[in-house]
Structure 1
Amino acid sequence: METIVLVFPGPDVDLKTILAEIADWPTFDLPSGNCRGVEVAGEHLYLCVDDTEEEGLFEGWPPSLVPESATVVSVDYRDHVAVETLVRRLNSAFTFVIDTNFGDVLRGEAFVLALDENSRWEWWKWERDRAGGAADG
């Protein structure tokens, strides 16, 4: 299982707000009160609110993308297409930054644009292992 991190600047977005945006998708309880499971096209994603004070959370990020305050949601996944579907859906409603945990940190709209411009972009792999190139930003 892999993890991406979605960072929603400011205090306005929480797990409840995110779940309201995807209310037509099946969800399920997880043992932690800070987490929910979501089913996307038969695949399960696990969304958990993380502590914004976690050490190293913004390590390596461009300073311009580090928010003063934020809601941080980690998304555990097995299928990258399910993540792409989630990000596209959330991008239509929220402003956020994505850390792929594979070297890319970019705004949600830039992630969607990179997917649209390069259908071979393998964001779920380290750049050295990618066949389809990398996002520009």
Structure 2
Amino acid sequence: MSDDYQPSAFYFTVMFGATLGLADTSFKEVSGISAELETETVIEGGENRYVHTLPTHYKSRSLQLKRGLASTSSPLVKWCISVFEGDFVRPILAQPLVVCLMNADGLPIRSWSFANAYPVKWEVEAFGSEKNEVAIENITLSYNYSNRLT
């Protein structure tokens, strides 16, 4: 595939450090891949035409993963259960995560890594008697920082 074409957004993979991408990594949607700098405004004495905007620190958003409702044997579900139902008896296990956008040959053409990711929200979308859709779960992950790898 030539780099002249914009990549498609529908062929992607998610790999967790604990599973190495071998299991439980099929998702309907991944969102929240972004980076942002927090800034502060500094007014310079004697200069009234403008203010300086200076960077203060890196701010990361949460990463959201959407997929069909998985069984309790899923490694990702087990991880979420240990975080949300573990009563903080054991420390939360953070792990690396990589999201890859793939080309038609199944090779990564863009990828992002997320350091020390762990679940902060686990939600099941609303059920409806008039719907004919797959039940969807949303998992929101916090992470320390991200890097674009390719």
Normalising by structure 2, we get a TM-score of 0.28
Which one has the largest radius of gyration? 2
Greater fraction helix: 1
Greater fraction strand: 2
